[in-house]
Amino acid sequence: MTVSAAASASASRIISREDVVARMPPLAHRELVLALAGEAEARLGARLLPSEVPADVAWFGNAAGDGVGSVDVRRGAPGSSIAFMLEAWFHRELPGGDGAIDITALIVNLNGATDAPHLLMEFIQGGPSSLVVLLDLLPRVDLPLHPSYIEKYYAATGLDARGHRRFAERVPQARRYVSPLLFIRSMFSPTAIVADVQCGEGGAAALDGIVRGQLAGVAMDVLGVWLEHCAGGGGAGSGTSETGMEMEAEERERMVARDRMVGVTEVELNLAANLPRMFDAGVADRVVAEIRKAFMGS
Amino acid sequence: MTVSAAASASASRIISREDVVARMPPLAHRELVLALAGEAEARLGARLLPSEVPADVAWFGNAAGDGVGSVDVRRGAPGSSIAFMLEAWFHRELPGGDGAIDITALIVNLNGATDAPHLLMEFIQGGPSSLVVLLDLLPRVDLPLHPSYIEKYYAATGLDARGHRRFAERVPQARRYVSPLLFIRSMFSPTAIVADVQCGEGGAAALDGIVRGQLAGVAMDVLGVWLEHCAGGGGAGSGTSETGMEMEAEERERMVARDRMVGVTEVELNLAANLPRMFDAGVADRVVAEIRKAFMGS
């Protein structure tokens, strides 16, 4: 990315993500997402259009002062394979001074120019020593029916060894996270890192170390695989993936319809159900509407 | 099932499954499959045609005497929703008296008359204290695209609580089994029991207890859910599921094509790759060919 592109990228946000993070209590996982989103933005460069969210979505809070958040959406430039990049930063103090819940997500969805997987990185921190980690390249086809898709994006990229297995081996505190939502469980690829890291009573420092150490390494590596093999390796502005050329028009339409359907279901089951528990009704509605718009492509 | 149907069911096998089990070293998981297959056969009754495998597939062994096995395939009766029921019993002693590997599977695939999941139950025992358990109702559609399918067959049936979660809670020695084959991992439903039960040095009695206790209970319950909600609850001969009526012809064709594609890939990656390591080449080829025939529907 050129210096001017970097400047315009920063200038396009009403509030920078550094400022978003600075306005929330310090948390290792937020710093990690800061680094991940910065890296993605730098590598995607001019393939991302300026931010398009209104000021009251770029930064929002509850009337009672017990919750703040930020959502940013940048669409892909015309001709690129990027549909949108979505960042979500949520912080909500729990009633009675009983800690806080912090959710941070970085999502980059691709469009019909490629069949390559979307990027999903989500961190759900329910306390100082407990973190749910979801890192995946989300498949865009029915995997058992497409062994060559599995081979191309998941086996040949070494993703399993570099992400999933490495994380499980290096972080003994991590157990498989089992979402109560069967739909969410069904979205992930077989190499997804879907982990519940529990460091126990007084384990805040241990969790902090894991996030800054092993988790940061694995997450950056998964992002690197996605940037290199899925987002299109070309320079800024070159978003046309070689894989896009292989698809039939009908197949492409079916995939894009699947993207929309899956995205909308995800928003409804996940965010539309949970944000009202963290934020005032008006705030939650506004934020969910903005996220829904990104997934609907309108 | 009537007495005569039961008699003809037994009579249809060249060698009964009780005899197969009796000819192999005693093993708790084999007794469990004996009970599961017996229950499935009794409930499916006349919807299963007589066995169709040749004598040298119904029972086979290696020239050196270090491996024996049995495969049985019964097709569904015309008008039923059963494609086939497949049983596989493999026992192979390891070189140098270093234990044995025992694989036992019960598979019932449905046909285009219904979109209900197939039944898969597989047990891979690598030693007296170590057992991989795969129990699932295998989805026949691209799940993230069909939330109502997830709701109908996996959520509304209580399968998650009755199978997956109960097993994980009651068997602390069980960890998630991660197949080295990404394709195999991608086949399973989000409620699958995909577990590696390791009871450690001298843990044979502990494993035995788990298999006869917690595992038997959960496996019978999963089979019960499948028999009641997927195989069609009607009496013998009534195999037409109410769900079959909702499908469009095109959708049905796509699903049946998916079944074949997934089944064939599974046979190639799993059995065709592994059976030659357990049995003499001629034996393995013959057995794989018979299993392939079942999945191809020819």
Residues 267-296 of A with CB under 8 A from B: 269
What pLDDT, on the 0 to 100 scale, is given for residue A232? 82
Is the pLDDT assigned to residue A234 strictly greater than 50?
no
Is A76 within a domain? yes
Q: How far is B51 from chain A, CA to nearest CA, in Å? A: 29
Mean pLDDT of B129-157: 96
Is A247 within a domain? yes
Please give the tally of structural domains in chain A: 1
Mean pLDDT of A110-124: 96
Q: How far is B284 from chain A, CA to nearest CA, in Å? A: 24
B176 vs A: CB within 8 A: yes
Q: What is the mean pLDDT of chain A?
A: 90
Mean pLDDT of B104-119: 96
Q: How far is A232 from chain B, CA to nearest CA, in Å? A: 23
Of A20-24, B117-121, B162-166, which range is least confident? B162-166
Instruction: State pLDDT tens for residues A142-160.
Output: 999 999 999 999 999 999 8
> What ipTM was assigned to the predicted interfaces of this complex?
0.88
Q: How far is B40 from chain A, CA to nearest CA, in Å? A: 26
Q: Which residues contact B198 (CB under 8 A, 6 or more apart)?
A: B129, B130, B173, B175
Instruction: State pLDDT tens for residues A194-218.
Output: 999 999 989 999 999 999 999 999 9
Alpha carbon distance B32, B209 (integer Å) = 12
Q: Beta partners for B91?
A: B68, B102
- Helix H segments across chain A? 3-11, 17-22, 28-44, 55-58, 147-149, 159, 166-170, 182-187, 204-210, 216-229, 249-266, 272-278, 281-296
A143 vs B: CB within 8 A: yes
Alpha carbon distance B176, B188 (integer Å) = 13
User: What range defines the domain where residue B198 resides?
Assistant: 3-233+241-296
Q: Are A72 and A53 in contact (CB under 8 A)?
A: yes
Mean pLDDT of B143-164: 92
Among all residues of chain A, which has the CA nearest to that of B148? Answer: A183
B145 vs A: CB within 8 A: yes
CA B34 to chain centre: 12
Is A45 within a domain? yes
Is A236 within a domain? no
Interface test with B, best of A142, A193, A261 (most B CBs within 10 A): A142
Is the pLDDT assigned to residue A237 strictly greater than 80?
no
What pLDDT, on the 0 to 100 scale, is given for residue A184? 95
What pLDDT, on the 0 to 100 scale, is given for residue A244? 45
Is the pLDDT assigned to residue A181 strictly greater than 50?
yes
Among all residues of chain A, which has the CA nearest to that of B159? Answer: A182
Is A155 within a domain? yes
Is the pLDDT assigned to residue A23 strictly greater than 70?
yes
Of A111-115, A135-139, B174-178, B231-235, which range is least confident? B231-235
CATH of residue A220: 3.40.1500.20
Q: Beta partners for B74?
A: B85
B187 vs A contacts (CB less than 8 Å)? 144
Mean pLDDT of B254-271: 92
What pLDDT, on the 0 to 100 scale, is given for residue A14? 86
What 8-state DSSP symbol labels residue B187? H
B178 vs A contacts (CB less than 8 Å)? 164-165
